Structure 1
Amino acid sequence: MNIEKFFAKRNSGIEWSGIRIMFALADKIDGVINLGIGQPDFDTPVHIRDAAKEGLDQGFTRYPPASGFLDLREAVAKKVETENKIKADPDSEIFISVGAMQGIFNVMLHLVNPGDEVIVVDPGYDYYSQIRLFGGVPIRVKAKEENQFKINPEDVRKAITPKTKVIILNTPSNPTGAVFDRKILEQIADLCKQHEIMVLSDEPYEHILFDGKEHVSIGSLEGMKDLTISIYTLSKSYAMTGWRVGYVVANKAIIAEMEKLMEHMVSGVTAVAQRAALAAISGSQDCVKHMVERYAKRRELVYTGLNSLQGISCIKPESTFYAFPNISSFGMSSWDFAKYMVKEHKVAMVPGSIFGENGEGFVRISFATSSENLEKALGRIEQGIARI
């Protein structure tokens, strides 16, 4: 019996994550150093875990409000006004989501009709399945290595057509570590206002910045509040990937749609996880500073180590915990290079082509692991390229 005949046609737009495919390969090999995983290696800070335990004792085990607890939304409102320079009403313009991923999925569901075009940065995080699931058409704008992987607003202008509905921006950027500066965002904002295009601003790495770089939320720019859906997560900043808590800041009409759908989808974000999130946002931010300091030291190790290897060049990441080295000199596809390294030298990394056509010739390496692991991995990579 062909079970697939029961599948909805829309499923054809969904692809397996290339990252998960690579992880599945790595899991079959003993002794692999995994430099592919995109999550902090730190434990969730103690005060956040304690808040969750207290929440259990206080009875936060029942259905939560669909849009999230009010005290958490109030804390988010204070945070985004102070840090992101966006003023949002906690009653109507903030939605607590199951991580940033649910927020992104909901935006595609609520905004994208069949045939609508969605501009994405290439290389950039893989939003393609979410776009195609609802009949959208991804339109790639290249972020070139010679421009430090920052998009040229003129290229964005050329990509705009009457069908353009949404532009997705991810800054600080995964996988490149690039930060789009205020000037770039202002020019993109002008285009969005001129053509009435919505921006989905995906900002999970907002706190992981190096060398004094500034993170600017495009929703804070003049005239952009109602044209921006800003999406945040606690996963990266607070080492809370498994808690699945994020939040969305947007026009109240969009938030109302998200709340309505939440009631039919998962009811709400786990109550006790929201108590942990409240402690994370409202409590001391020293834990974030400590983690970023550790990432900064590891970045130096990886950047210096990669650039010392024959045939590899790497731009210094301005943010995130990723390096995106150029491996094109070896004459292998990024998939073949990554498979060779994991199978023959037990170092897992992510092929750059997963992040778009312009990511071919690169691999993503995470430095969200110990310095000891990074040093061992660099040694294995050196041995590997010597045998190519």
Structure 2
Amino acid sequence: MTIEKQLSGRTHEVEWSGIRIMFALADEIRDVVNLGIGQPDFDTPEFIRDAAKLALDEGYTRYPPAKGFVDLRQAIAAKLKRENNIIADPASDIYVAVGAMQVIFNTCLHLLNKGDEVIVVDPGYDYYSQIRLFGGVPVTVPAHESNRFKVDPADIEAAITNKTKMMIINTPSNPTGAIFGEEILREIARMALEHDLIVLSDEPYEHILFDGHRHISIGSFEGMAERTISAYTLSKSYAMTGWRVGYTVAPPEIVDEMEKLMEHMVSGVTAVAQRAALSAIEAPRDCVREMVATYDKRRRIVYEGLNAVDGIKCLKPESTFYAFPNIKSLGLSSWDLAKYLLKEHKVAVVPGSIFGKAGEGYVRLSFAASIEQLQEGIARIERGVKALKT
């Protein structure tokens, strides 16, 4: 028997993440400066770790409620009201998930039928595999560097057809660091209401903002609560990527479906992780502000360093911990440049084409790394670019 022939066509056709492919290549090379990693380099704050230790001592080692502990959902509801201007019933509108990624996956599973179209911004986070896995059709709308990678609502409206079911927006944006302001979001909300569309709002970087920018949740607008699924995570704000805990606020009918599926899949988010999440959400955000201040210093180093390299242009990111420099004048595709820098100069970046066709001609760098690593990485990039021109 050939096992490959027995594999489900659904999962067999799902592509490996391009980011993971780059990481696999980097793992084969010694002394690489890795500027491709999309996670904080900080340890989880001590008070959160202490809450997890206390939870173990208090016996939180059994199956948790599939929807999440009641007190955690209540704390999430208070946070949503306080920070996102969203009013949510913790009993019916909130669901604790294995990170925001599970919210995205479950949303596609619960909503998409074969042929349903889903509008996504390009360049943007790779939602394509989840959409296609459940029979959906990704429809890309470009976000241009000339507009600081902010999507033009007119382009979204032009992409809407009678097959469109959902729009996915990610602000603050991975990989570009762009923020969609209130005017853009209100136009997207108008289209959702006029065309009876669902909006999946992916908001993992809601707290990592610079230069006075503010985050707005589209689910807070009038009429949007009943058609918005908002995905949040503690991974980025609190340096908790390994804890795998996030949450969603969504219409009760969708939350019910997600809870039912959770029972069948993993029986709930790890109890200890939920208790740690509760301590994070209820505490003042001093630790988050400290991390963001450090990211801001690093952002300036990356922005100035990249723009000093002949042949590279880079906008200053408004948010996240990513820079998305333009490398078009170097004459290589983003994949070829990334592989060249990795193999010849031992610095890892992520090809922009991973984030969509409009990402070609760019690479993504993470400044979730020490200042020393960033300076060394940019120095290696500069040497690599100079070598290309000789």
Identity of aligned residues (%): 68
- Over residues 139-182 of structure 1, what are the superposed CA-to-partner deviations in whole Å (9 max), with x where a residue is unaligned? 00000010100000000000000100110000000000000000
- Counterpart residue identity of residue 137, structure 1: V
Residue in 1 that maps onto 2:52: 52
Distance across 2 between alignment mates of 1:215 and 1:296: 16
Residue in 2 that maps onto 1:365: 365
- Counterpart residue identity of residue 232, structure 2: Y
Q: Any runs of at least 4 consecutive aligned residues in structure 1 with deviations exceeding 6 A, and if so which? A: none
Instruction: For 1:155-194, list aligned pairs within 5 A.
Output: 155-194=155-194
Distance across 1 between alignment mates of 2:222 and 2:183: 13
Shift of residue 9, structure 1, vs aligned partner: 1.6
Secondary structure of the 1:226 match is helix
Is the CA contact (8 Å cut-off) linking 1:166 and 1:200 kept in structure 2? yes
Shift of residue 13, structure 1, vs aligned partner: 3.8
Residue in 2 that maps onto 1:255: 255
Distance across 1 between alignment mates of 2:22 and 2:9: 27
Instruction: For 1:235-384, list aligned pairs within 5 A.
Output: 235-384=235-384
Secondary structure of the 2:364 match is strand
Secondary structure of the 2:294 match is helix
- Counterpart residue identity of residue 243, structure 1: W
Runs of 5+ consecutive residues of structure 1 not aligned to the other structure = none
Secondary structure of the 1:387 match is helix
- Counterpart residue identity of residue 35, structure 1: L
Considering only aligned residues, what root-mean-square deviation do their CA atoms show, in Å?
A: 0.6
1:143 and 2:143 equivalent? yes
Secondary structure of the 1:88 match is coil
Shift of residue 11, structure 1, vs aligned partner: 1.8
Shift of residue 135, structure 1, vs aligned partner: 0.5
Shift of residue 12, structure 1, vs aligned partner: 4.0
Distance across 2 between alignment mates of 1:245 and 1:171: 19
Instruction: For 1:59-98, list aligned pairs within 5 A.
Output: 59-98=59-98
Shift of residue 284, structure 1, vs aligned partner: 2.5
Runs of 5+ consecutive residues of structure 2 not aligned to the other structure = none
Residue in 1 that maps onto 2:131: 131
1:101 and 2:101 equivalent? yes
- Counterpart residue identity of residue 149, structure 2: F
- Over residues 107-138 of structure 1, what are the superposed CA-to-partner deviations in whole Å (9 max), with x where a residue is unaligned? 00000001000000000000000000000000
Residue in 1 that maps onto 2:32: 32
Secondary structure of the 1:247 match is strand
Residue in 1 that maps onto 2:11: 11
Shift of residue 283, structure 1, vs aligned partner: 1.2
Q: Could you state the TM-score of these two structures normalised by the residue count of structure 2?
A: 0.99
- Counterpart residue identity of residue 377, structure 1: G
Q: How many residues align?
A: 388
Distance across 1 between alignment mates of 2:124 and 2:370: 25
Distance across 2 between alignment mates of 1:263 and 1:211: 43
Distance across 2 between alignment mates of 1:285 and 1:99: 19
Distance across 1 between alignment mates of 2:114 and 2:102: 20
- Over residues 189-243 of structure 1, what are the superposed CA-to-partner deviations in whole Å (9 max), with x where a residue is unaligned? 0000000000000000000000000100000011111110000000000000000
Distance across 1 between alignment mates of 2:354 and 2:373: 24
1:227 and 2:227 equivalent? yes
- Counterpart residue identity of residue 266, structure 1: V
1:199 and 2:199 equivalent? yes
- Counterpart residue identity of residue 300, structure 1: R
Secondary structure of the 2:151 match is coil
- Over residues 261-285 of structure 1, what are the superposed CA-to-partner deviations in whole Å (9 max), with x where a residue is unaligned? 1000000000000000000100121
Residue in 1 that maps onto 2:43: 43
